[in-house]
């Protein structure tokens, strides 16, 4: 299930990202996937960015910054953060994820 966590920011699973080919009620324009696997199939009109992070691995500070920068660049158009099993990696592994995203979106 895709869940809105902020204006134009949604989180969901790899399956949620793949289901966008059939239905896109939130008008998602970008999928930022942290899954090691590709999002397949891909929906027309949606940009796909991958930052593969194995599910059992913590996110490094450099990866976290890359995720925040990518989200900040895409946030005005709508974004999905897709993770295996819908686990919200950057926001649980690094408290203050929303603060970091707000800092990046002001750049």
Q: Give the H/E segment covering residue 30.
A: strand 30-33
| 83 or 97, which is more confident | 83
CA dihedral 98, 99, 104, 107 (to 10 degrees): 140
**What is the arithmetic mean of pLDDT over 42-51?**
91
pLDDT number for residue 92: 45
- Predicted TM-score of the model (pTM): 0.76
Residue 53 predicted with pLDDT over 70: yes
CA distance 61 to 67: 10
pLDDT given at position 84:
58
- Tell me what pLDDT residue 93 has: 45
Asked whether residue 31 carries a pLDDT value surpassing 90, the answer given is yes
């Amino acid at each position: 299930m895709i869940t809105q966590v902020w204006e134009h920011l949604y989180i969901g699973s790899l399956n949620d990202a793949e289901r966008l080919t059939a239905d896109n009620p939130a008008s998602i324009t970008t999928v930022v996937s942290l899954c090691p696997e590709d999002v397949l199939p891909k929906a027309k009109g949606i940009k796909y960015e991958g930052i593969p992070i194995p599910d059992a691995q913590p996110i490094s500070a450099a990866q976290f910054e890359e995720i925040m920068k990518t989200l900040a660049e895409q946030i005005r158009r709508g974004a999905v953060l897709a993770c295996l099993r819908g686990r919200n990696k950057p926001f649980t592994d690094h408290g203050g994820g929303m603060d970091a995203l707000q800092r990046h979106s002001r750049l």
